[in-house]
């Protein structure tokens, strides 16, 4: 699929208990992306998002800020082959 990619990110910092997942879902849906976001037991947030390269880039940049109460320290990035997802959900 040309121009369609997926990214896998791990977001660390103060990212749980600050509406990070709900806000990530809202931003991803605004950008027309599909995939999921979930909390990890050690305190990070994991994101898998699929869509156009431009919109993936916008979500990646947003993940560095997150919602108002978040304090993001680091965002890892890995590009993955295209995957089909019906929606963007909190997993």
Structure tokens at 18: 């600050």
Query: How far apart, in whole angstroms, are the C-alpha atoms of residue 56 and residue 88?
Result: 13
Catalytic residues: 21, 39
Give the residue from 86, 81, 79, 91 showing the smallest Cα distance to 34: 86
Model pTM? 0.96
pLDDT tens figures, 12-64: 999 999 999 999 999 999 999 999 999 999 999 999 999 999 999 999 999 99
Domain holding 73, by residue range, is: 4-90
Q: What is the CATH number of the domain that holds 78?
A: 3.30.70.100
Domain count, the chain: 1
């Amino acid at each position: 699929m040309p121009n369609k990619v997926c990214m896998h990110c791990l977001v660390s910092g103060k990212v749980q208990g600050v509406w990070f997942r709900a806000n990530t879902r809202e931003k991803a849906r605004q950008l027309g992306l599909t995939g999921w976001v979930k909390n990890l037991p050690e305190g990070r947030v994991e994101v898998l998002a699929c869509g156009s390269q431009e919109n993936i880039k916008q979500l990646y940049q947003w993940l560095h800020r997150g919602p108002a109460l978040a304090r993001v320290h680091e965002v890892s990035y890995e590009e993955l082959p295209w995957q089909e997802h019906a929606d963007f959900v909190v997993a």
